[in-house]
Amino acid sequence: MTIAEVSLQQQQNPMWGDDWATVRSNWTLTESVLHFNHGAYGSVPKAVRQHQMSIIERVDQNATGFFRRELELLLEDARLKAAKFCGADPHGFAWVKNVSEGMTVALAAMPLKVGDEVLITNHIYPAVKFAVENRCRAVGAEIVEVQIPSSENDEELVSIIAAGITNRTRLLVVDEVASISARIFPIREIAKITKAKNITLIIDGAHALGTYEVELDTLGADIWLGNFHKWMCSPHGAGALWAAPQWRSKLNPSSVSYSDRKPYPQRFSRLGTDDQTAVLSVPAAIDFLSQLGLERVYAHNSALANFGADAVAAAIGSTQMPGKYGARRRVALPGGIVNDDDAAYKLQREIAEQLKTELSVSPPMTNEEPGTLGISAYVYNHPEEYERFGQALQKFLAKRK
């Protein structure tokens, strides 16, 4: 039976509750597709999209009046609400389009020089690694990448990072929730080490917001970057930049605008005639998930991801990868199926086209590990979807051999 033949709207989800069908109806997701990749691009609920469209209508009705007299007040109101949600001092909280833009801004402020080292891990997001490489190339600094295996042991993870630090290490760039591996990193423990050694700590928090409660002021980072358009379900193009007090005056937007002479964080608010409706819709996204119950959302997504990964792993005779995870888990693929990026992309596309399932596929993290499937869960997902996909995947892999 295909997903098109099953009306999930009429089913109950025991992991959410009797009102699951009502909750699922808040999204306009294609029902002929299994959506197991929420963390990549998120999915905007109807109410949040309608809020964004109402702002667009206001712009269309009087663009001059909106940009000249309304926008800055709206941006500031949204910024203050978002900062409060993140447990952040609003004086340190600024808008950016996404983590990639924010990372470029943060790295540009780093006083790196020839011979300095920037420490990263093998869990780093490729675009972030590119940004680090570009900055290091520009100033003559060097990149040191430590290899962290899949493990549930936080102490081992922290010790590997600590062992990679030398007397030339000036900066550590690390994930809070890694995009590639989905591993949750023990940031507070890592921050203790960087502070003790006077090393700057930049956190890629793209997958943190909406996975669990975030408290930026106590996290221990020097600079933190996150996205509202993933697990928080805001429209695309809503990113956040938080900086500790000593860094705020050093951070500048990626382009110069009329706001350039304003203090941080206001100089990040308006960069020309950008479409700012995504960040203006962040409060609506926060309100939407708050009405569902944020703790309920966090707990459900994590539990369902664990259930789903177990179901898929059992179907193909595999296991989940070890580690500490939230709403996204990894399932080991049989050996030899995915050994590099090209093979991962090919399999991901085949699964999307033939099994009508959106998920991620990654090559091995280390030489000792297999390629993996990345499987997300969100409140619109149903346990039966993962069981059905596991059965289909088993037949698909058998034929592919």
In 3D space, the residue among 142, 39, 32 whose CA is nearest the CA of residue 362 turns out to be 39
Spatial neighbors of 38 by CB under 8 A, at least 6 apart, are 230, 231, 327, 328, 376, 377, 378
Q: Who contacts 11 (Cβ-Cβ below 8 Å, separation ≥6)?
A: 20, 21, 382, 384
pLDDT at 257: 85
Rounded to the nearest 10 degrees, what angle do helices 154-163 and 187-196 cross at?
A: 30
| Residue-level pLDDT at 5 | 42
Q: Are 54 and 138 within one domain?
A: yes
Contact (Cβ atoms closer than 8 angstroms) between residue 42 and residue 230: yes
Cα–Cα distance measured from residue 74 to residue 280, given in angstroms and rounded to the nearest whole number: 7
Distance (Å) of CA 66 to CA 62, 189, 278, 321, 374: 6, 45, 15, 50, 42
Q: Are residues 15 and 61 located together in one domain of the fold?
A: no
Boundary (domain end) residue, out of 288, 312, 337:
288
Domain CATH number, residue 118: 3.40.640.10
Of 288, 319, 351, the last residue of a domain is: 288
Q: Cα Rg for the chain, rounded, in angstroms? A: 22
Is 123 among the domain residues? yes
DSSP 177: B
Q: Write down the pLDDT at residue 269.
A: 86
| Pair 281, 351 in one domain | no
One domain, residues 310 and 251: no
Cβ atoms of 112 and 137 within 8 Å: the answer is: no
- DSSP string for 27-87: S---TTSEE--HHHH----HHHHHHHHHHHHHHHH-HHHIIIIIHHHHHHHHHHHHHHHTT
Give the range of the structural domain holding residue 124, as residue numbers without chain letter.
50-288
Question: Can you name the residues that pair with 331 across neighbouring β-strands?
Answer: 320, 373
- In a domain, residue 37? The reply is no
State which of 288, 316, 336 marks the end of a domain.
Answer: 288
Are 351 and 359 contacting, i.e. CB atoms less than 8 angstroms apart? yes
Residue 277 sits in the same domain as residue 373: no
* Residue 45 falls inside a structural domain: no
Listed residue (238, 209, 225) closest to 55, CA to CA: 238
Number of domains in the chain: 2
The answer on 211 and 154 residing in a single domain is yes
CB atoms within 10 A of CB 29: 15
Residue 1 confidence (pLDDT): 41
Same domain, 284 and 297: no
Question: Rounded to 10 degrees, what is the CA torsion of 222, 164, 367, 180?
Answer: 0
Taking the C-alpha atoms of residue 324 and residue 93, their distance in angstroms, rounded to an integer, is 28
pLDDT of residue 275: 92
Q: What does the pLDDT look like over 267-306, one tens digit per residue?
A: 998 888 889 999 999 999 999 999 999 999 999 999 999 9
Q: From first to last of the 401 residues of the chain, give the pLDDT tens digit.
A: 444 445 555 577 899 999 999 999 999 999 999 999 999 999 999 999 999 999 999 999 999 999 999 999 999 999 999 999 999 999 999 999 999 999 999 999 999 999 999 999 999 999 999 999 999 999 999 999 999 999 999 999 999 999 999 999 999 999 999 999 999 999 999 999 999 999 999 999 999 999 999 999 999 999 999 999 999 999 999 999 999 999 999 999 988 888 888 999 999 988 888 899 999 999 999 999 999 999 999 999 999 999 999 999 999 999 999 999 999 999 999 988 999 999 999 999 999 999 999 999 999 999 999 999 999 999 999 999 999 999 999 999 999 86
Tens of pLDDT along 63-94? 999 999 999 999 999 999 999 999 999 999 99
Assign 351 to helix, strand or coil. Answer: helix
pLDDT of residue 7: 59
